[in-house]
Amino acid sequence: MTAGPFVVRNRTRGATLASKVRLADTPAARRTGLLKHDRLEAGEGLWIYPTQAIHTFGMKFPIDVVFIDKQMRVRRVYQNLAPYRLTTLVWSAQSALELPSGSLAGTETEIGDELQFSLCEEGSE
């Protein structure tokens, strides 16, 4: 996979979830995740691939999480997931998208929505 950054759109709702999403697709990157961050700015995110569950142990802030299947459909949503929590295993998921808390409510993203990941255009960062 390409490292990104990616723009993530909710094709079902016609809304942009994030415009600067990094990919964590190595064991080290998945282990570290957002642990070294104090916050996520609006538009930022982390796409963890592959995974079927995440935890927020050691994190300093709440996040929104979307679990996505192979067809890029939303399988489960967690809004405002607090630090020191563990999600359930989402068997049908292939990856998870971590976003600033409030991102999902703002875009009305729900289970069944179809997401689209595109590479950021040069110079749009």
For 11-21, how does the pLDDT look when each residue is reduced to its tens digit (9 = 90+)? Answer: 999 999 999 99
Structural domain that includes position 45:
6-119
Q: What is the pLDDT of residue 68?
A: 98
Q: Does the residue 37 lie in any domain?
A: yes
User: What are 109's strand-pairing partners?
Assistant: none
Number of structural domains (the chain) is: 1
- The predicted pLDDT at position 1 comes to 56
pLDDT digits (tens, 9 = 90+) for 64-114: 999 999 999 999 999 999 999 999 999 999 999 999 999 999 999 999 999
What is the CATH classification number for the domain harbouring 33? 2.60.120.1140
In angstroms, the CA 46 to CA 44 distance is 7
Domain presence at residue 33: yes
Instruction: Kindly state the percentage of the chain with pLDDT values over 90.
Output: 90
> Is there a domain that residue 124 lies in?
no
pTM more than 0.75: yes
Q: Which residues of 3-15 are buried (b: 16+ CB within 10 A; e: fewer)?
A: ebbbbbbbebeee
The counts of H helices and E strands in the chain are 2, 7
For tokens 């600067």, name the residue.
20
Q: Is residue 125 part of a domain?
A: no
